[in-house]
Homo-oligomer: A and B are copies of this chain.
Amino acid sequence: MASVTGPEIERLIQLLAKLPGLGPRSARRAALHLIKKREQLLAPLGEAMRVAAERIVVCGTCGNVDTADPCAVCADPRREETILVVVEDVSDLWALERAQVIKARYHVLGGTLSALDGVGPKDLNLDRLVARVAGGGVKEVILALNATVDGQTTAHYVTDLLTPHGVSVTRLAHGVPVGGELEYLDEGTLAAALRQRTAL
């Protein structure tokens, strides 16, 4: 390929292929699309990446990514200060913010405990979480962790860590997803939905 496309295009394809969701074939297609739309897309995207690489920092308080530390969420004075939503990853924080269901503060763990992958408590953003709770002002910690084995293991660990500090620790409800059909749900979800049924 090098003789056809030149090292610059080859490097662009190789780097694009490292993005999640793009393989070698779709990376070539994306590179060609970028080259064809040089002014509208290639140059602006390159510039946006340069700016992002230069300015983005991890928030020292919650672990979110932003161009300021503390991040826009932590610095927002209109948010509920007494509620802390604990998430695994920044993408979960974004998902909750898109849903616009809670105006609280967040804490990003940066993963879940996993014996299989060798992730222990020291690898997660836990010390900072305990310090935030111990610092006072937080009344409720909502564990918005994935309903996976690792997520639930982490939830139990975090609960044990935080209860001595006198905060109420809650987790997201299990149940039938909105728009979901019972026929396609697993037994665990159906059992949880029945157990946690609510009055009409």
Contacts and interface: CB of A to CB of B under 8 A. Distances in A.
Interface string A53-96: 10110000000111110011100100000000000011101100
A124 interface: no
Nearest to A106: B4
A139 interface: no
B28 A94 contact: yes
Given A29-B91, A43-B53, A5 B66 contact: yes
A190 interface: no
A21 interface: yes
Interface residues of A, number: 57
A171 interface: no
A42 B49 contact: yes
Copies of the protein in its oligomer: 2
Interface in A18-55: 18-22, 26, 28-30, 32-35, 37-38, 41-53, 55
Contacts of A68: 6
A3 interface: yes
Given A1-B98, A19-B33, A43-B53, A11 B48 contact: yes
A176 interface: no
A20 B5 contact: no
Given A8-B67, A46-B50, A26 B18 contact: no
A6 B45 contact: no
A147 interface: no
A66 B18 contact: no
A16 interface: yes
Contacts of A46: 46-50, 52-53
Given A8-B55, A11-B48, A46-B50, 14 more contacts: A3-B76, A4-B64, A4-B93, A8-B51, A9-B52, A15-B41, A20-B26, A22-B22, A28-B91, A35-B56, A35-B90, A38-B53, A43-B49, A43-B53
